[in-house]
Structure 1
Amino acid sequence: MTRLSVWSTLALLIGATAATAVPESYDYIIVGGGTAGAALAARLSTGLPRSSILLLEAGPAAPEELRINVPGLRGSILGSSYDWNFSSIAQPGLDGRTIDVNRGRVLGGSSAMNYLCYDRASAAEYDAWGQLGNPGWNWDVMAAAMVKSENFTGSDGDLHGSTGPIRTTYNRIVPEVIQTWQPTVSQLGVPVRDGRSLGGNPVGVMFQPTNIDVTNWNRSYSANTYLRTARKNLVVRTNVQVAKILLTTRQPVVATGVLLSSGATITARKEVILSAGSIQTPGLLELSGIGQKSVLKSAGISQIVDLPGVGENYQDHIRVSNTYRLKPGYESFDPLIYEAGGAFATEELNRWLRNEVSWYDMTTSAYSFLNWARLGSKTNELLTRLAKAAFSSGTTVDKKKIEYLSNPAIPQLELILEANYVGAAGYTGGRFITIFSSVMHPMSRGSVHINPSSPRDKPVIDLEYFTNEYDVQAVIEGAKFARRVANTSPMRSIWEAETEPGPEVQTDAQFRDFAVRTVNSFYHPVGTAAMLPRKDGGVVSPELVVYGTKNLRVVDASIIPIQMTGHIQTAVYGIAEVAAQKIIDAAS
């Protein structure tokens, strides 16, 4: 198999739409060809063979883009034309800093952009979805759906799928500096979990799978996997932007189709499904007349459905980076990133292109998921006290997060070891390792809404970072623990200097300054069209139907009601699988 032959079927699928006139009506219209949208489209195509399905994606298809396909080039399309390049408004808690909000603008969406981390949250977190008012959503349902999406190569296969579209495996190159991870973290009393963490209890230290196709060591993502399983009843249109959903004004409101930015309209005979993601799904709802009265009024949009939860409940993972300069003689990934035109990087890329073992095969794989008790009783008591003091009388989501603090199976902190520099100060040469520390369940909840002065332009994103003391202290404790890991044998033997935060940072006040200056997103926004009861700020029902409408659904990360442990792509594939079955069943 050649590197790109997996795209041959998809090329015919997309090409067919360009060669003939596109029909003006379809049974199902899916807006957004990203992680969830492409997966959903393919499943509906095979599950409803007599129905016509249209998938609309604002970005291009990029089957030959090495920055997407090569695992070792992960992250290199951030800030490119394949990125929507959103940004938050100035954050008072960060001394006025703004934060980049990167989302994929390409067929495959953020599954083409992410860092290929393939894990699952704890069973209790999926069960919480049902407990928050969504019967039928729990660990058993989501675990089965995530397994259905996967085709795993490797050991511990009983926890994985073997027939799904998304190919997964373990890295075949593990640099010496990465090999120090498990023996180091386990010295601190953290159990070794490895792939068993995907079974519902991720607390521990492990090497995780990654979504790579072992036949060619390409990134495996929704566009180059799910879509090639589709039938001819699916039409994929790229470089097409939707302006709004067309709705009737009678109750219940019916979605009749979509208006494109070109001014053309396409009719939906059965359903319209939003899969535009946590940033753009709320905006499309608001542009269509669904949302808060004040937001719509300020933008000059007539309200059709009063739904105050639209665009609220924004949650994300926040992180900082500890960076360490390696001793001479230790190899890192830095030359392949920062010296990409050099002889070593060129030869390694050529090896990848020849389908030979290459450093470019590799992506992140060394993780640890911890509850606060693993950092010590004082840390656990401090953070629990801060959370309860501020949020005990908060929303149902706030209260659930406080419950999480007392459940030892639910991680609160993620550590990731990278074999290269990923700091905030900027790369200045040399060889590095980086330890990310990321807070799994921040208490801050932000919002995303259309810009009232220019509704069709980029949205107003307010992350609300560091608006409560719990989040600030959680980041501080994470950075401290990352330093503790770095100073534990055998990892301590491989580096010569801590460059960030730096040895001068010792007090809590100094760590606080470091956190305010450098905290950033880990690119996992959820919750802005939450699957919650309407009275609790929900936007969609357990059937993923937008409240107040008859046939408008949301299928993407925005429906996740409460932030999850780890990296959300596996959950998003699971959501698409569950949603597809719900839609197929409803049509039967």
Structure 2
Amino acid sequence: MTRSTLKAWLVAAVAASIATAGSNSDQLQVYDYVVVGGGTAGSALATRLSQGLPDKTILLIEAGPEALDEDRINIPGMKGSTLGTLYDWNFTTIPQTGLNGRVLGANRGKVLGGSSALNLMTWDRSAAEEYDGWEQLGNPSWNWKNMIAAMKDVETFTGINSSNYGDQGVGTSGPIHTIINRVIPAQQELWLQSMADLGIPHNLNSLGGNPIGYMNQPSNIDSRTWTRSYAANSYIPKSGSNLHLLLETRVAKVNLRKGRNSHTATGVTLQDGTIISVRREVILSCGAIQSPGLLELSGIGSKAVLSKAGIDQIIDLEGVGENLQDHVRYQASYQLKDNFTSFDILKYNTTYAATQLALWHAKQTSLYDYTGSGYSYLNWHQVVGNMAAKLNSLAQNVVLSLGSVVDKKKLQYIGSLLSPQVEVIFSDGYTGVKGYPTIGSPLYGKGFFTLIGVVMHPLSRGNIHITSADVDTKPLIDPQYLSNEYDVQAAIEAIKYCRKIANSSPLSSAWVSEFEPGMAVQTDEDWRQYVLNTTLSIYHPVGTCAMLPKKDGGVVNPELIVYGTNNLRVVDASIIPVLPSAHIQTAVYGIAERAARFIIEIS
């Protein structure tokens, strides 16, 4: 099937399901299952329910449009170009004390497929012991064995037993297609060699539960068409006619009926007042930023929060919107020597960019294929050696003052040699904070690479809450980034290690100057201020409807049912109790796969 034929077929398949929903007024009023949020988890879950329960009706409600023919989503090399557009909710945090009062973006997908349509296509997993940790926190069956089985069901990986990957931890028959990028720049090859020279092991099985090492990491790209493979174009076309889509539609609240021992979700009220009833379940898949808000709009949450928003409390559940965790990133950028070509050329050379785009459309190798594949996952001993004990001591002091089960679990990982504490990404091209050099400046037209450092288990935890009963009012988002000394020192060590890599042979032979932060940054105080002034989110929010015992701040039980209800579930990143040492999309897909099995088994 050609790229254009596949695109036409996908658009037609989705259009048919929308038309079916719109053409039958009875079906618009009552469904067996209503899934709110057609993002990464919601699209996958609704599809699996459609397949596994062919005699049941499923409605998937998404606030955004479908964008199956949108080049900025489909073309790998255009990753990031949809942030801040109509496909983005464009959320922001409140001013962050730990970042010198800065406000950060909190980008999330407002489009069919959600953030799987907007993300940068990293396909990875955290350490096996971290998934086992979910079970240890009071969630039977949520462990590595069951999660890896679910995550493998998500994917079709191309490249088993190749020069870039082995054979562990990958699926071969799932909807999402993954592959290691066929474009690997010369400067990335030098980075890989420098990592080896620093004593970091080459990991050819990074998806198998042991991510420690450096590698060329897979991306969710369909090798048949070299396009992004995501929830909307890879899951939904596999659904049956019993799945209906309702797009560009907001849900105002979940309707609840009080019973003897619990509340029953009877359906949802749309923003225009339309009521859609359910025979079986309402499932929220709005993501870590919006699922807690919809619970609060429905009267589920803290009395203090609900009262301020003018909402009557129906179910007292203090954990709603709490336990917000996110990864943040720190960047070091380097000007390449002129004999290297970087991804930046697509910014300043329009003729070259047009030629490369034509090659992509002709299904030939192109710079627009590029997503980046140079990744490393490191424990503290690998990054700072004997200083790891000092960082562990800092973390212990923070955890002693906080004391939650989540913090204690993170402390366990911080001291582990198996769970990564720092991720370093080789990003070809400039992706720093200052901005690419402006037209007319001496460095305009130059190429760069950026090393991105990420601390995997920050101890900062924040919250997300509504402030109004109006669904259009954006939530108040307070991640409390860098709110403790461990997180600050960990960030400093991560970005210093990025400079160490850049100065290591043979990568050091590829660049002429450090563009950012610049060699004027040398002292501990210099590094501290650089971190406070430049840290950005990497958009991995989790934990705000945590799968934990209620006494520990939990919102859902191990079957993902909201406490105090019997048929209202949350299925998305918000249920992840502890931020994993990985980008989150494979875990989110895996959660959706497991939830579908729960629901199908009891139906």
2:239 alignment partner in structure 1: 230
1:373 alignment partner in structure 2: 381
Question: Is the CA contact (8 Å cut-off) linking 1:392 and 1:402 kept in structure 2?
Answer: no
The structural deviation recorded for 1:18 is 3.5
- 2:556 alignment partner AA: V
2:190 alignment partner in structure 1: 180
| CA-to-aligned-CA distance 1:367-412 (integer Å, 9 cap, x gap) | 0000111123343122111110121351000111111122100000
2:256 alignment partner in structure 1: 247
Counterpart of 1:259 in 2: which secondary structure? strand
2:440 alignment partner in structure 1: none
The answer to whether residue 271 in structure 2 is matched with residue 261 in structure 1 is yes
Counterpart of 1:77 in 2: which secondary structure? coil
Distance 2:45 2:35 in 1: 8
The answer to whether residue 554 in structure 2 is matched with residue 532 in structure 1 is no
1:57 alignment partner in structure 2: 62
Match for residue 520 of structure 2 among 504, 507, 526:
504
Counterpart of 1:374 in 2: which secondary structure? helix
The structural deviation recorded for 1:362 is 1.3
2:111 alignment partner in structure 1: 106
Distance 2:397 2:28 in 1: 57
The answer to whether residue 443 in structure 2 is matched with residue 433 in structure 1 is no
Question: Is the CA contact (8 Å cut-off) linking 1:6 and 1:225 kept in structure 2?
Answer: no
The structural deviation recorded for 1:6 is 4.9
Counterpart of 1:254 in 2: which secondary structure? strand
The structural deviation recorded for 1:312 is 0.3
Question: Is the CA contact (8 Å cut-off) linking 2:343 and 2:429 kept in structure 1?
Answer: yes
Superposed, 1:11-410 pairs within 5 Å as 11-21=15-25, 22-155=27-160, 156-194=166-204, 196-250=205-259, 251-336=261-346, 338-339=347-348, 342-392=350-400, 394-410=403-419
- 1:311 alignment partner AA: G
- 1:568 alignment partner AA: I
Match for residue 580 of structure 2 among 564, 567, 573:
564
- Using structure 1 for the length normalisation, give the TM-score: 0.98
Alpha-carbon distance change, 414 to 158 in structure 1, aligned in 2, over 3 angstroms: closer
The structural deviation recorded for 1:161 is 0.9
Tell me, which stretches of 5 or more residues in structure 2 are unaligned? Answer: 161-165, 438-443
The structural deviation recorded for 1:455 is 6.0
The structural deviation recorded for 1:5 is 3.9
- 1:402 alignment partner AA: L
2:559 alignment partner in structure 1: 543
Distance 1:506 1:54 in 2: 56
Alpha-carbon distance change, 375 to 158 in structure 1, aligned in 2, over 3 angstroms: closer
Distance 1:38 1:227 in 2: 6
Distance 1:395 1:6 in 2: 50
Distance 1:248 1:400 in 2: 37
Superposed, 1:437-476 pairs within 5 Å as 437-452=453-468, 456-476=472-492
Counterpart of 1:225 in 2: which secondary structure? helix
Distance 2:383 2:389 in 1: 11
| CA-to-aligned-CA distance 1:173-207 (integer Å, 9 cap, x gap) | 1111111122111111110003x011101010111
- 2:198 alignment partner AA: L
The structural deviation recorded for 1:351 is 1.1
Question: Is the CA contact (8 Å cut-off) linking 1:37 and 1:555 kept in structure 2?
Answer: yes
- Using structure 2 for the length normalisation, give the TM-score: 0.95
Distance 1:442 1:487 in 2: 27
Moved more, 506-515 or 2-11: 2-11
- 2:359 alignment partner AA: R
Distance 1:26 1:87 in 2: 35
Distance 2:85 2:202 in 1: 38
Tell me, which stretches of 5 or more residues in structure 1 are unaligned? Answer: none
Counterpart of 1:410 in 2: which secondary structure? coil
1:421 alignment partner in structure 2: 430
Question: Is the CA contact (8 Å cut-off) linking 2:168 and 2:208 kept in structure 1?
Answer: no
Alpha-carbon distance change, 496 to 145 in structure 1, aligned in 2, over 3 angstroms: same
Distance 2:530 2:384 in 1: 22
- 1:169 alignment partner AA: I
Counterpart of 2:231 in 1: which secondary structure? coil
Question: Is the CA contact (8 Å cut-off) linking 1:295 and 1:452 kept in structure 2?
Answer: no
Distance 2:22 2:167 in 1: 41
Distance 1:221 1:379 in 2: 41
Distance 1:414 1:122 in 2: 13
Question: Is the CA contact (8 Å cut-off) linking 2:22 and 2:28 kept in structure 1?
Answer: no
1:2 alignment partner in structure 2: 2
Distance 2:216 2:569 in 1: 36
Question: Is the CA contact (8 Å cut-off) linking 1:246 and 1:288 kept in structure 2?
Answer: yes
Distance 2:469 2:542 in 1: 25
Question: Is the CA contact (8 Å cut-off) linking 1:153 and 1:168 kept in structure 2?
Answer: yes
Counterpart of 2:218 in 1: which secondary structure? coil
| CA-to-aligned-CA distance 1:507-529 (integer Å, 9 cap, x gap) | 11000000010001011000000
The answer to whether residue 528 in structure 2 is matched with residue 518 in structure 1 is no
- 1:408 alignment partner AA: L
Counterpart of 1:499 in 2: which secondary structure? strand
2:505 alignment partner in structure 1: 489
The structural deviation recorded for 1:467 is 1.0
